[in-house]
Amino acid sequence: MGKKRKRSKNQHDGILVLNKPSGPTSAHCLNIIRRKLDQGRIGHAGTLDPMAQGVLLVLLGHGTKLAPYLTNGVKTYSGQFRLGQKTDTYDAEGTIVEELPFDHLSPEKVEEGVLSWLNLETQDVPPVSAAKHQGKPLYALAREGKEVPIKTKPIHISHAEVLEMDLPWVRFRVSCSAGTYVRSLVHSLGIRLGSGAVLTELIRENCHPFGLDQAFDLDDLVEHPELLAERVIPMRDALPHWPALHLSEAQAAQVQNGTWLPVTSVGEQDQPALPGTLAMLIGPDETPLALVEAKERDGMVLWSILRGLW
């Protein structure tokens, strides 16, 4: 059995909003933070392709426990695509497999195509991606020259707009459900328009509930390690879209023993929480204790513990 790694005295707990640069993988950026800033326990919520830049939520220490509750948030991207080409990866980093005319397209037709993203409910997963088939990433199958199965996934697009157009170049913004491949949106648009289309730039502007205005550049983080503490969003504020409910000492002890508390007994609420409500329970010393969900059991609505944070 492996020896448990000793926690560094420099380890922080919470979220660091990184403005990932274009080029390196998300994992490479985390490795730099791990080594340069001595953050041995680290993870992220929602990876970005190497070409993409923008908001990457870096989870530090106990913040790694929050991954499932941050990964599934709505993502907003701005980007650019080029009509007239297809590549094997659906973006500009791939090999061009076909060049097609686009002079039959009017700006109005292209904008109509972008807005049609709002009607999509599924998309094909790119053949060069980390999605797995029988335990093996699709990109590995592609590199080996093997047949890559077509996989589809459900998606939801809540916003789509054209920002600028100078054909064959089109800038856009889109808000979508977690796990949506924007390069697949662009590729499928090119098919519908009969012109092909390739993603050439992608910026994640928001990973709910955090945006680029809260993000720090990787180089700046490394150059100023003394500022890390003030740049980490503490656990207490890591889920600002969830209500924070304060416990008494007795209630805190019960929660740490795994007890489900009646929703009516916790915090000051204008009205009792309904089943399905999510919240963070805070101890009397302001320490986050647990993530909870209101669930009905034996005729009562109770706070069920999703994840202990103590």
Q: Say whether both 129 and 195 belong to one domain.
A: yes
Q: Say whether both 150 and 295 belong to one domain.
A: no
Residue 8 lies in a domain: no
Q: Say whether both 109 and 257 belong to one domain.
A: no
Q: Say whether both 99 and 47 belong to one domain.
A: no
Q: Say whether both 93 and 202 belong to one domain.
A: yes
Residue 7 lies in a domain: no
Residue 134 has pLDDT above 60, yes or no: no
**Which CATH number belongs to the domain containing residue 49 in this structure?**
3.30.2350.10
**Which CATH number belongs to the domain containing residue 252 in this structure?**
2.30.130.10
Q: Say whether both 164 and 125 belong to one domain.
A: yes
Q: Say whether both 80 and 178 belong to one domain.
A: yes
**Rounded-to-integer distance, Cα 106 and Cα 264, Å:** 59
Q: How many Cβ atoms are within 10 Å of 213's Cβ, its own excluded? A: 9
Instruction: State what percent of residues in the chain have pLDDT above 90.
Output: 81
- Active-site residue, from 13, 38, 49, 220: 49
Residue 2 lies in a domain: no
Evaluate if pTM is beyond 0.85: yes
Mark whether 49 is an active-site residue.
yes
Residue 206 dihedral angles phi and psi, to the nearest 5°: -150, 135
Give the tens place of pLDDT for each residue, 196-251: 999 999 999 999 999 999 999 999 999 999 999 999 999 999 999 999 999 999 99
Tell me the residue range of the domain where 62 lies. 14-73+209-237
**Rounded-to-integer distance, Cα 188 and Cα 295, Å:** 41
Q: Say whether both 231 and 259 belong to one domain.
A: no
In the prediction, which pLDDT does 140 show? 55
Q: Name, in order, each residue with C-beta under 8 angstroms of 35's C-beta and a sequence gap of 6 or more.
A: none
Count of domains forming the chain:
3
Domain boundary among 217, 237, 257: 237
141's tokens: 């199958």
Residue 130 has pLDDT above 60, yes or no: no
Q: Could you say which DSSP state residue 2 is in? A: P
Q: Say whether both 194 and 120 belong to one domain.
A: yes
Q: Say whether both 99 and 153 belong to one domain.
A: yes
- Beta-ladder partners of 308: 290
CB-based contact 285:257 (threshold 8 Å): no
